[in-house]
Chains A and B, each alone.
Chain A
Amino acid sequence: MAVKKEDKFPVARRYQIADVQVSREATAVKPQVVVNLIKKAKHPVLITGGQLLKDEKLVEIAVKFYEKGIPIIATGGSSKPLIEKGVKPQSVVFTLHQVTQFLLDEEWKGFDGKGNYDLVLFMGFLPYYLSRMLSALKHFSKITTVALEEFYQPHAKFSFTNLTANKDMYYSMLEEIVNNL
């Protein structure tokens, strides 16, 4: 089910009412925008989080990203179900905290040695943990961050809107991205 223009699109409600900053808030984006961002990117990567251990559907979607050629950095133990489905993550042992520290370093060559990533997609994280990492990337790097989460993430450059009231819509938006890559 693609989200059509005429569909009612939920408002972007911050995952935490008090996580307020003065600088920019994420642009709430529909799937096609994410598709375009990925297509334009030189070195994109998907980072998956520990919530994949609790949500099989997210595993399925991550596998599809991988099959479409988006490399995966697996954190929080998300590597286990992904590997079982044939994914070879670029790294499995580093935490999102560490990966973010690496991303902040312009000299880092990425896990694949091809240079730092320019577009980073995030999927399957505890919202408050991801939020802090997005804040670090917002203030101290030029990387384009995209939160593909159920909760709207204000500190990303781009984020899905708040989809907590409609999980089907969340999944279908993810599907729409992978289907159009």
Chain B
Amino acid sequence: MAFELREGIFAIDEMRNVSIKIGKVIEEAEEWAEEMGPTPKPGIIELRKWDMKLLERYEPFYAPVQDFCNLCTMGPCDLSQNKKGACGIDLKTAKARLVTIACCIGAASHGGHARHLLDHLIEELGEDYPIDLGGNVNVEAPIIRTVVGIRPRTLGDLREAMEWAERELMRVLHATHIGNEESYLDYESKAMHISMVDHVVMEIADIAQIVAYNMPKAEPNVPLTDTGFGIVDKNKPVIVVVGHNVLYSKPILDYLEEMGRLDDFEIAGLCCTAHDMTRVSGGRAKIFGPISYQLRVIRSGIPDVMISDEQCIRADLLQACKAMGIPLIATSDAAARGLPDASDWPVEKIVNALVSGELPGVFLPVPEKVGQVAPLVAEAIFKKHGGNRKYRFFANDEELWNEINKCTQCMSCVFTCPHNLRIDQGMAHAQKTKDLSKLAKLEEQCIACGKCEQACPKNIKIINVIMASNFDRLYNKKGKMRVGRGPIQDTEIRNVGQPIVMGQIPGVIAAVGCVNYPDEAKSLREILEEFVKRRYIVVTSGCHAMTLGMITDEEGQTLYEKTPGDFDAGGLANVGSCVANSHIAGAAIKIANIFAMRPLRGNYAEIADYVLNRVGAVGFSWGPYSHKAAAIATGFNRLGVPVVVGPHGAKYRRAYLGKYFKKEKWWVYDIKTRSKVPIEPAPDALLVAVETKEEAIVQLARLCIRPNDTSLGRQIKLTHYLELSQKYLGKLPDDWHLFVRSEADLPLKMKDELLHILESEYGWKIDWDKKKILEGPIRKYDAGFNPTIVEEVYEKYAGEKPPQ
């Protein structure tokens, strides 16, 4: 006889000839009291009903980039005007499938990263290594709790969530094969599913690295770290790391620390690896800049060795490094870059091959070895030039002017540049006046993608021209970024939960994502500063967080230096790298749990419904471009958080846009009055692209409005919305009256004026003696309003079936 015990508590008296296999031992004191909700480890259709609720209101919008498909050999197929391909798929559905694939790629990137970290850390520290995020975080892993239905206590426990995520990825990818889904709505539901998975794997990755590497644990007062070209001491060997997985670059710090030689080197990073280097080193590593700085850094000739890991790195990195004589060490198996595998080579052999130039680079997926090789290579290369780095985009001014003078203003570059930057005009102006200022201005917006150089019939090194034109400013750029703090504390949530849900804190603005900004990078600061000053909570991560650390004001200070790092009104909290985005979603979930006592365990739809109706949080990605950003945004959308993207975001092809005029779509069940109530269209979009910073500001304020706002909360939110609209759009917004439920919602200072407008322009009835609205609003304000759009949630709290 043999039987298996899974989770639970058992008493065994006397047994013979029994072999017992024990699955998992949980100590009684640690048993998680929370009851299991309806959807632990959901499969791809278990939350479909929730998705359809969202998609019914926030109708998918498709803006095809191509109107053809060539995914299989029956094609290519012309799908224009929503025609169908040989397999029967129409244009909208084909685009929805493409979006689903993009979200799968995004989720797989964070997932691959998480799996890699997790396996490595478990091997190093053991399965039982505890998850301890500090005394102020008791609700650790809110996403995993809500989605997967487990409460991970050790690194080993995270594997359970990881395994579920991997299974779902397989399922969603399967659905994208030819001959599966027929409705774009089902693809959208699957895109949402895999993007929720994305949030889970981001949480796994960041929790694992925080606990294993002792990164800051929910600390608002993390140190500031240096950013920008100007912070790198060029008189030391310079090691530059680029990518997203700190697993490979951390050993460099460890090794140098062990040798007591940390101060003899400069270690600076690009993109999220830079973030995480500063998190593991307590601010001792530096940040060169966001991902758009790759070619700037390489072509400046500053690095003595380059270490690449994974994601968002240029696919011609080796070529770019080779052209500058910078040895490259590629570390991640996701990007071996065609290089020979040097895992088994002795350290000396690797160093020699790289320093002699015998090999332009090696593939070295062994973290500890990277730690030893990188400093040795950097030091040897440094010795060769002795700190006398002559190369500065051009050897001398003459070279620069020779390039400029070659330009014929053919504009081939302009028609391939993602921003259509007017390089021709900059060149012409320089040719005529010897003034580089027009070219220098391009530097502020150029993402150094290199497309223009390939298009130029004169082979002008356009990037170098642009960079050299702004050389002094670029080279001396210095700033400060607050190191990634990791999660939001439970105590912070306790303090802000109520004012967010009631509306007195007008909103949470989460600025995350990549660097494909439509405008000079400083516009990002201008947008966020508006909200910091108005005492919204501003959170940031990834390249947005780095960019903010590089934009200084007249006093030479970045926004970080002017604001506290708390998750509180007027704060600017940097959570960390891409995978730390999970803490932003986690904060929204924790508000539902800690403030409103909603159970998390396997209870996704209820929590998302809570967030949609009550938590005035809006994601903001001013320059999104990666697949990961697509998944992050879509994951936020499923959780009920709207996202505003910059204009390049329209190229994700799909948005979720509600329509104010479809009155039948704006309703909720009110658990208090046991009725179905029409509501104001708030928020009216889940994903929308804006064109300018002015528009971004107004949309962000607008999308913070939630049905559950109290009168005071609505009054505060409307005050900001109306003021910002007047400031940036020149008048009151067109739809403000839709958000007025009673006179108490009106901004105090404008009350009389607004009552008059409601009467004269919208035909509302006003009792002027009492200054009360008698007739007009979509619905009345009710202090006990308890909205939901989920039937099961209604039944759970009302104890009866929802009204028709």
Residues of A within 8 A of B (CB): 13-24, 49-50, 53, 74-77, 79-84, 91-98, 100-102, 104-105, 107-109, 111, 125-129, 132-133, 135-136, 138-140, 151, 164-165
CB pair A102 B420 closer than 8 Å: no
CB pair A17 B416 closer than 8 Å: yes
* Chain B residues, Cβ within 8 Å of A98: 657, 684-685, 688
Q: Contact mask B416-441 → A, CB, 8 Å, 1/0?
A: 10111010000000000000000000
CB pair A75 B691 closer than 8 Å: yes
B416 touches which of A16, A20, A84, A133 (Cβ 8 Å): A16
* Chain B residues, Cβ within 8 Å of A109: 661
CB pair A77 B729 closer than 8 Å: yes
Please name the residue on chain B nearest to A88 by beta carbon.
B731
User: CA of A19 to CA of B735 in the docked complex: distance in angstroms?
Assistant: 35
Among listed B217-225, B567-575, B694-702, B793-801, interface-contacting one: B694-702
Please name the residue on chain A nearest to B698 by beta carbon.
A93
A165 touches which of B411, B419, B699 (Cβ 8 Å): B411
CB pair B61 A97 closer than 8 Å: yes
Q: Say whether, besides A135-B65, A136-B61, A164-B414, A50 and B651 are in contact (CB < 8 Å).
A: no
CB pair A91 B734 closer than 8 Å: yes
Q: Say whether, besides A16-B415, A139-B82, A132 and B650 are in contact (CB < 8 Å).
A: yes
Interface residues of B in 43-85 (CB under 8 A from A): 59, 61-68, 78, 80-82
* Chain A residues, Cβ within 8 Å of B730: 79-84, 92
User: CA of A136 to CA of B688 in the docked complex: distance in angstroms?
Assistant: 14
User: CA of A135 to CA of B62 in the docked complex: distance in angstroms?
Assistant: 9
User: CA of A16 to CA of B419 in the docked complex: distance in angstroms?
Assistant: 9
Q: Say whether, besides A50-B692, A77-B729, A98-B657, A135 and B685 are in contact (CB < 8 Å).
A: no
* Chain A residues, Cβ within 8 Å of B735: 93
User: CA of A101 to CA of B690 in the docked complex: distance in angstroms?
Assistant: 13
* Chain A residues, Cβ within 8 Å of B734: 91-94, 111
User: CA of A96 to CA of B392 in the docked complex: distance in angstroms?
Assistant: 42
Closest 3 interchain pairs by CB? A77-B694, A23-B80, A50-B692
CB pair A97 B689 closer than 8 Å: yes
B691 touches which of A19, A20, A49, A140 (Cβ 8 Å): A49
Q: Say whether, besides A79-B730, A102-B659, A128-B420, A53 and B692 are in contact (CB < 8 Å).
A: yes
CB pair B698 A53 closer than 8 Å: no
CB pair B415 A22 closer than 8 Å: no
CB pair A129 B411 closer than 8 Å: no
* Chain A residues, Cβ within 8 Å of B59: 101
CB pair A128 B61 closer than 8 Å: no
| A-B residue pairs in contact (CB < 8 Å), sample of 30 | A13-B415, A15-B415, A15-B420, A16-B416, A17-B455, A50-B692, A50-B695, A74-B729, A76-B690, A76-B694, A79-B731, A81-B730, A92-B729, A92-B731, A92-B733, A93-B725, A93-B729, A100-B61, A101-B657, A126-B518, A129-B518, A132-B63, A135-B64, A135-B65, A136-B62, A139-B64, A139-B82, A140-B92, A164-B411, A165-B409
Q: Contact mask B728-743 → A, CB, 8 Å, 1/0?
A: 1111011100000000
B67 touches which of A23, A74, A164 (Cβ 8 Å): A23
CB pair A101 B655 closer than 8 Å: yes
Known: A98-B657, A128-B650, A129-B691. 9 other contacts (CB 8 A): A17-B416, A23-B81, A95-B699, A100-B63, A109-B661, A129-B518, A129-B648, A132-B653, A136-B61
CB pair A83 B659 closer than 8 Å: no
Give the interface centre of A101, A105, A128 by most chain B CB atoms within 10 Å. A101
B647 at interface, CB cutoff 8 A = yes
B201 at interface, CB cutoff 8 A = no
User: CA of A15 to CA of B691 in the docked complex: distance in angstroms?
Assistant: 17
User: CA of A107 to CA of B244 in the docked complex: distance in angstroms?
Assistant: 47
User: CA of A34 to CA of B66 in the docked complex: distance in angstroms?
Assistant: 27
User: CA of A83 to CA of B648 in the docked complex: distance in angstroms?
Assistant: 28
CB pair A16 B420 closer than 8 Å: yes
User: CA of A130 to CA of B108 in the docked complex: distance in angstroms?
Assistant: 31
User: CA of A165 to CA of B657 in the docked complex: distance in angstroms?
Assistant: 37
User: CA of A94 to CA of B681 in the docked complex: distance in angstroms?
Assistant: 13
Please name the residue on chain B nearest to A151 by beta carbon.
B420
Q: Contact mask B648-672 → A, CB, 8 Å, 1/0?
A: 1011010101010100000000000
* Chain B residues, Cβ within 8 Å of A14: 415
CB pair B691 A50 closer than 8 Å: yes
B91 at interface, CB cutoff 8 A = yes
Please name the residue on chain A nearest to B646 by beta carbon.
A129
* Chain B residues, Cβ within 8 Å of A151: 420
User: CA of A143 to CA of B61 in the docked complex: distance in angstroms?
Assistant: 16
Q: Say whether, besides A135-B65, A165-B411, A108 and B661 are in contact (CB < 8 Å).
A: yes
CB pair A128 B690 closer than 8 Å: no
CB pair B689 A129 closer than 8 Å: yes
B731 touches which of A21, A83, A97 (Cβ 8 Å): A83
Give the interface centre of B91, B689, B725 by most chain A CB atoms within 10 Å. B689
